[in-house]
Structure 1
Amino acid sequence: MEVPGRTQNSPPKESAVFCQPCNSDGETIVAIGYCQNCNEYLCAICLKVHRKQAVSRNHIILVGDNMPKVSLPVVTPNACSEICTKHENEIVKYFCMSHDAVGCGDCMIIDHKSCKVDRIQDISLEYFNGTEHQNILKKVEQFVKDIDEIKLELQASEGNTRQAYTQAIKDVKAFKKEIIDYLNKAEREMLEMINERKKKNEMLIQELKQAESHIGRNIKEIQTKLQLQVNQANELFVEAKQVKAKLNVIDENLNRLKKDISIDVYTFQHSSSMEQMVKSCVPLGDIVDGSKQKIEQKASKHDCLVSSKEVTDQTGLDRKNISKMDAYFDCEINIKTQDDASDCCIRNCAVICPSQIIVTDANNKCVKLVDVNNKEVSKYNLKYRPTGAAVVNPNLVAVTFPDDRKIQCLTITTGNKIIECDMINVRKGCHKIAIHEYKIIGITDISVEIMSMNGQLIKSLSDPNMKRLMDIAVVPSSQMFYVSNSSLGYKAVLKFDFDGNLIATYQDKDLVDVRGLEVTKDGTVLVCNWAGNGSIHMITPDCKKMKELLEKNQHIYCPYCVTFCNETNKLFVGNYASNIDKQFKNVLKVFQLR
């Protein structure tokens, strides 16, 4: 059965008007009716639905020849047909200009009694051509453009997210491989050392066995001869006199053999830095936003396994020839905070990572974390007056309280928050400390105290030259350390081994007094010449003068502490004396070596 208005076998007449709802769905159906209220042409099926719906059953429908021959403008002053949202049986017909609101008759009576009300039919055509309508159209058009742009950005972000995910996974795996390669290499080197020691001991044992066998034969031979002559007095006398000289030689050989036979039993002592890194559960890295932060992060505390050659290649800095460099003023960082009760007393400073320095402020009983890049300072108050500070690893520092015979360990979180952990009680108050192979090396005025990380004394070293010790610096990967001595008439830098033997001494006519010490990665020693026109003396590992840095420099006055960043070749100096200007007390001076 054929539905009226749905005949599609024969082509439509050129003058035919088509159903608009169907046309919006892609169908071309001849219209048989027209709704004046909706200003829309309808086919038979759409017209039937239109007459049944509650919202449109009262609309005026024109059919046949009464239909307009062409589509009328979308906006015409036709009868209102929208149902009121508050009164379901009423049609929205009125507009209140005072409240910029539309409503039905009931709405106007209830809510707009005293307002001037217009009929929508009377003003709608004028509104259509007015400014407000045009502005709305423009705003909607802009919204369409905005949403299109957002859509494109979302598509791009989706692609970037996939790319970032893939790259991050790749970087994590690459860094993991780098660490594994480093550990494999370190393992190979350690096994080679162990095998070399084993071969050396085996060769020594073989030599001792041969000596033992030779001496044993000689003793057996003498014993046999003496036994054969036991009943013959003359022969026994002659034989005894002849072997007497041999017995002295055998005695010496036996004593030497007893001494040499004590083979050193070696054990593997793991790296304290590696152990502490494992204990502190340092993450592989961090997730940062943007490429700039990512580059900076590579030079930060988490890159603890990069070799010195690799760091040189990444930064473009030459750290092999520090002795040939000169120091140039870079900047100064104000470390005095708003809540400091007095001017700062910078007793010690130490590099945590290329972008972060820790400073002890004795006057204000605190430590301060200094952000070198942003020149920002965060403060952490302490119970006692701190003097020395040493970096255990990038997440842990130790601070000394000599007056109270304590050492406080402080954990630095990834968000640069400081948390107190172990408080270590020590036998003697150490005013400066260094960390070496998971041991605390501290100094009193007249001694060097070697302690375990829990404060237990391992060894105490003293020497007639140790009269007023000011600072200590340990040589990396060795059993040597330097101390600065400031006794009356004896200003010097002293080098000792861990058995307390004096190895070398540095004195110079230009060295007025001594304070802070630092040893760079290549073994160069830096010592503060504590004077009004002070400087930094640079000396060789065997305590020979190389040069004098910052001599008569306007930024240096009584240099008290010094630290050096091997990754950036930056030198950090703290000036202090009771009578110096505040501009020196409250700042950390930064110099670039090049």
Structure 2
Amino acid sequence: MAVPGKKAIKQFSSSTTSMGSDEDLKLYCQPCDRDGPRRSAHGYCKNCSEHLCEACFTFHKRHTLSRHHTLLDKTNMPQTMSPVTPKQSDNFTKPCPKHNIEMIKFYCHDHKAQVCSVCVTLEHTATSCKVNYISDISGRTINSKECQNILKDLNDMAERSSKTFQDLKKMSEVSNKFLAEALTDILKFRTKINQRLDEMERQVKDAAKAIQEDNSKNLKIVETACRDVPKSLKTCSDAIKQFNISKEANDLFMELIHAEQMIKELEKSVDKLSEFEVKEYNFEPNEVISNLLEKEKSLGTLKGGTLSSALRSRQSSQIDKICIKTSKDRCDCWVTAMTFLTPDLLIITDNLNCAIKIVDISKKSVKAKKYFEISPWDVTSVSENEVAVTFPDNKTVEFFSVYRNNLKQKHTLNVDGKCYGIVCHRDKMVVSYCKPAKVQILLSNGTVLQTIQNENIFQIPEYITTNDNCIYVSDFYMKTVTKLNWQCDVKGKYVCADVPRGLIMSDDGTVFVCYCDSNIIEEISGDCSKGQVVVKDIQNPQSVYWSAETCTLYASSSFLTKERHFIKLFKLSK
């Protein structure tokens, strides 16, 4: 067997070239005979049927491919030379796909793979595979039966491919015919739809313009009234000053009485003007597309309520607190989210204790808890007896039923990122992700309806709150609260003075936001134009929930404070 790495540049015959010559009767190393110089035989390999010199004999015993061959020493080796088998050129040029700088030189019969010397050493050793040097076995393929069979298979495959190609041409002609007919039918149907859509578009545009005209009219009235008030006040003020200078006591007295009455009347008017409202609306597309032409009368509906231009002045006071620490808790509490199932049952996620807890508000105690291996983050009510909880590390939303104060896992929804905030609204869910940063609107089965993923809008969107018209998202990194519609279009943005954490929408469309570092809870107007502090000196507020029935804010604190084991209740004035 040839020593790997040598190339058969020339070949020498090992048979006697001149019978009777002393040199030709000697035994020589056959691998060296092909390369030169000629060396005397020192042993013999039965597997390779070759005489070997001392160097080749030693190498043969060490090399991976030949170390298990049967070798005969000088005294036991055959005393006649075996005929030399013609060898193929060792000029290999095909690189190994795994080791680019190595050339393919060997063939593994067990794996039917062409390999290089590195592959042989690492993966196709002599103890596990049958490997041959390609030059040693390639000669037998010339004019072999295997070669003829493969040529026949190639020819058969070419004929089959040709026939398939002809069949495909015929099928393509039929397909083109179907396409032409379908395009004609689509064009006819689209023309009919366009006519109907144009009509419905005019209707919905007219409705939107009517609302805008109504808003403009109301705003004009308020503007006119606001402009007339300063004029009336100045006229009265000038008269009082004049009577006072001229010392016309009677006129001055009567003017003062008139001014006092006017101030009271104008104070009521100004207070009323400051509470003016404009109608908020957004376009909601019609979902019944299949029956659009026959049954639907409108392309969509304009849904909305009123959007306050000013925040009401509120007073707050802490009225109670509830301990949520239990004897089975392994760590300090960190309530990252909460939601109500019923007026008396509050569901909270205790992140550090990897737990979901049910809190009885009337009894001020934890009625039940369920522990997990990983930490939950946010929770939202799905129905009167079901909640959904996000588990960021698992990239899952888990659904639980609540029955007789016990939590029972119903099913799991796998999502495509580290999910944090979640809100269920009607038949949809809104979920925020921090890795990657995005917000999605999904159906309960996981079908994604809308996605907004833009680093200029969100980088760490953490909490979400919604109503019928819009979605609000707090972003930890951007320090913003962003308002979206249900088509994921940005409709407003409030730049916070501090990092926003949990948030919840009130019944009149404002949003309460926790500022953990500033120790306050702020109320933001629905249009994200204004904000006012409603709760002060609350230690590191983390999450918040609003009860419209009792005008009460429920707030938790970060694990960094001594108040971390309590849910605090704050009464807000209407």
TM category (shorter chain) comes to 0.3 to 0.5
Q: Whose Rg is larger?
A: 1
Scaled by the length of structure 2, the TM-score of the pair is: 0.45
Q: Which has the higher helix share?
A: 1
Scaled by the length of structure 1, the TM-score of the pair is: 0.44
